[in-house]
Amino acid sequence: MYPPLEQYKMDVFSVEFREVLFPWTHPCEIIATMARKLVSLLWMTSAFLQLNPVASYRVPRVPSAEATYTNPILPGNFADPWVLEFNDWYYLTPTMPDGSVAVFKSSTLDNFTDVTPVTVWVPPNPAAWAPELHFIDGNFYIYCALQDGDEDADRRVISPPRMHVLKGSDPTDPTAPFTDLGQIGTPDSNYAIDGTVLQNYNGANYFIWSGKETRELDTVQYLYIAQMDTPHSVVGERILIHSPYWPNGTRKDWQWSPSNTDYGVNEGPEILVNDDQIFLLYSACVSISGTEGRSERGIMGLNSPDADPLDPKSWWAKDDGPVFSQSEFTVGTGHASFPRDANRVPYITYHAWDVDAPAGWSSREVRTQRFEFNPDGTPNFPIAVASGVELPAAAGYGH
């Protein structure tokens, strides 16, 4: 039998004597200590949760085998679609018909039709092109091309477009207002459109865009890269990584406009990551005039996971032909991004229009289709289907 607790705590015994006489811990004391520690733990847990609320985990919404969607996923005059997945939502930022920068929000990437866009920034003059929404270092940034004034029909001499950076006001909400941080580019300040970011590659960020060699009367576009020192600035000079010319100066024919043979086009660069492989997809052979609409997607990539992106020799390119093209049903297949659905299935989201629709800038609609990767890790893109064709629905999130 244990002695009574009162006897255990009698002051007539010295501490040393009690430890000799009663080397055990009294059961009542054990219970009391455990109770005190449990109350303390519950209090600390409550305080921690108030300071650091745990984000709820949403289980992907798996569509039934019969569930389908059809293209376009956003009908109307929208182009250059960029999709960012953030906190179980999909955010689409296309080129808007009114020239503003707006964000569409959806729980699935295969339907933005009934979504009301939120305007997050209005340019002073006259329009923003191809905005891309990125989350970098805990903040949202939008990269878009802007003009400083009027331009001629070919975007050349009077006011060539340049890339700007917008910063979001709320790091938890990409539909909150954005402010213009100014131009991003190298000191030459030449023509620049369609900027994108290769994020956190070996600990650094890189800015990639479409530009021209000179400011005046140049109708040929190239792909350039520079390292970023902040999300809104680059260091060093721009470096050419792809051209519509072969090294001997002859043309890569499929990268030149069929309607205006003075135009060689490399634009709309976008990064696609598959495990440790980095690919860069771009638009070529762009022609949207009269009754013709044409655009092809070319591909290049880094030679190895530790290759230097600033070294042109670090990039390989498949220049014998495109990897994603228009079809007998759909034309103008350009400027694609590569989101994944909630089950991590890859999709190519692009602009295009039906072959029997009028050709022109205002015909472009946002479409998406799933694709696969080849055994060597390269993307295997599908045939661009016509609008109205039923495709298996993408997995989304239940909200």
pLDDT at 90 over 80: yes
On whether both 29 and 130 belong to a single domain, the answer is no
| Interatomic CA distance for residues 259 and 293, integer angstroms | 10
User: Are 79 and 40 contained in the same domain?
Assistant: no
Distances, alpha carbon 357 to alpha carbons 78, 197, 330, 354, in Å? 15, 33, 9, 5
74, containing H or E segment:
none
Average pLDDT rounded to a whole number, residues 48-59: 43
Phi-psi region of 332 (alpha: psi -120 to 50; beta: other; left: phi over 0): left
Asked if residue 127 and residue 91 are part of one domain, the reply reads yes
Based on the domain organization, do 126 and 18 belong to the same domain? no
Domain count, the chain: 2
Residue 19 lies in a domain: yes
Identify the domain containing residue 221 by its residue range: 69-397
Check residues 387 and 158 and name the one with the higher pLDDT. Answer: 387
Pair (232, 357) in one structural domain = yes
Residues 393 and 330 in one domain: yes
What's the length of the chain? 399
Does 73 lie in the same domain as 47?
A: no
| pLDDT bracket for residue 38 (50, 70, 90) | low
CA–CA distance, 299 with 324 (Å, rounded to integer): 9
Predicted confidence (pLDDT) at residue 180 exceeds the cutoff of 50: yes
Distance CA 151, CA 324 (A): 31
- For 52, the 3-state DSSP assignment is coil
Rounded distance between C-alpha atoms, residue 113 and residue 366, angstroms: 10
Over residues 134-160, the pLDDT tens digits come to 999 999 999 999 986 554 444 444 568
C-alpha angle 369-375-378 in degrees, rounded to nearest 5:
55
Please tell me whether residues 233 and 188 are part of one structural domain. yes
Q: What is the pLDDT of residues 262-272, one digit of tens each?
A: 889 999 999 99
Could you tell me if 129 and 25 lie in one domain? Answer: no
pLDDT value, residue 55: 39
| pLDDT over threshold 70, residue 231 | yes
Looking at the structure, tell me whether residues 35 and 83 fall in a common domain: no
HSE (CB half, 13 Å, CA atoms) of 308?
A: 5
Q: According to the model, what pLDDT value does residue 216 have?
A: 57
Q: Among 101, 154, 151, 165, which Cα is nearest to 130's?
A: 101
Report if residue 61 sits inside a domain: no
For position 152, what pLDDT does the model report? 47
The chain-wide mean pLDDT, for the chain, equals 85
Q: Tell me if 60 is assigned to some domain.
A: no
Q: Are residues 45 and 185 in the same domain?
A: no
pTM (two decimals): 0.83
Tell me how far apart the alpha carbons of residues 82 and 92 are, in angstroms, rounded to a whole number. Answer: 6
Say how far apart CA 71 and CA 352 lie, in whole Å: 10
187/173: higher pLDDT: 173
